[in-house]
Amino acid sequence: MAEHFAKEFLARLVTTHIDVDCSRLQFKQVPTGHFNTTYMVDGAERPLILRIAPPDDAGFLFYERGMMAQEPEIHALVRERTSAPVAEILAYDNSRAHVDRDFILMERLPGTPLTQFPAGSRELQRILEQTGRYLREIHEITADKYGYLGAHKCMEPQPDWASAFRVMWNKMVDDIAVAGYYDYEEQSYVRSLLDSYYAVFDRPVRSRLLHMDIWSQNILVSHDANVTGILDFDRALWGDKEIEFAVLDYCGISEPAFWKGYGQERDYSNEARIRLVFYLAYEVQKYIVIRHWRNRDPSSAMRYKRQSLNLLSRLKLKPCPNSPRLLR
């Protein structure tokens, strides 16, 4: 259920950080926000976006708690080191002086979400190719640690990707168990499955900045089919770019035009296919928790549970330690 805030309250948040006559401000709620409550703001020197985090007791995945805190640093990095169109963040406020949760104020980029753009085949190919180029640039930003490294501090940074993914995987299983959807036997099975295939993750991997939420709603485009904005870096992660590719597969972005823009061949080895199953399951499993806590929809949560276990059933539990078996 979307939250709604009074204009006077929203104006107070904006004028805390922007010098503007509050009577001039106009707010229009963005109906497509799935996590934060988002408003388009007019009446200041330039168009703005105001995003208000959900309340602290809303029910979160482990990496969602306070994840807005990592956006200012990530936006600054992407703006400095790439040509990707990413908004300037004007203020991040976690003071709780005016509201009982965090909020962020940023410039509003031009364009329309791809979900609302009547793109034909040629226009869509152009948009996906540009998206691929921008994401490749973002992936060239690297770090020396792995995992969720942002200011929300949802996990200890790890020295290698395999260790980071094991921490992330087990934290995800913990969240699903707390929500009541994995019993003890299912928890043990899902954890043991990763342990069985740990060798395919234990390899040299550069820690790259991963967006982890590239889908049509988070791509802004102009009327002439140019990408004008890449939105919502709050779920960003540092690690193996293959997990980003799995999200692109799941969200329907991983098309030939995207890969043309990305400009790099994808690994289709047997080991990569095994990792892909885990990465897809990591993406799908999150919706068990989201549907349960935020959407109050247990039947949908159960559907995602079945989808997750069906994905993982493509793997055999105990492969030969030195030679991972083929997928069924």
**Do 87 and 120 have their domain in common?**
no
**Do 70 and 206 have their domain in common?**
no
| pLDDT at residue 172 in the model | 98
pLDDT in tens, 93-109: 999 999 999 999 999 99
| pLDDT at residue 317 in the model | 72
User: In the chain, which stretches have pLDDT less than 50?
Assistant: 319-328
**Do 88 and 49 have their domain in common?**
yes
**Do 230 and 103 have their domain in common?**
no
Q: Per the domain annotation, does 323 fall within a domain?
A: no
**Do 93 and 215 have their domain in common?**
no
pTM over 0.85: yes
**Do 105 and 138 have their domain in common?**
no
Average pLDDT over all residues of the chain: 94
| pLDDT at residue 32 in the model | 80
| pLDDT at residue 318 in the model | 57
Q: What is the CATH number of the domain that holds 250?
A: 3.90.1200.10
Single residue among 48, 75, 109 that ends a domain in this structure: 109
Q: Per the domain annotation, does 326 fall within a domain?
A: no
Q: Which domain holds residue 60?
A: 7-109
Number of domains composing the chain: 2
Single residue among 57, 84, 109 that ends a domain in this structure: 109
In whole angstroms, what is the distance from residue 235 CA to residue 268 CA? 26
**Do 118 and 98 have their domain in common?**
no
Single residue among 109, 140, 165 that ends a domain in this structure: 109
**Do 165 and 30 have their domain in common?**
no
**Do 175 and 297 have their domain in common?**
yes
Q: Are 71 and 89 in contact (CB under 8 A)?
A: yes
**Do 302 and 286 have their domain in common?**
yes
| pLDDT at residue 131 in the model | 98
| pLDDT at residue 1 in the model | 54
Q: Per the domain annotation, does 2 fall within a domain?
A: no
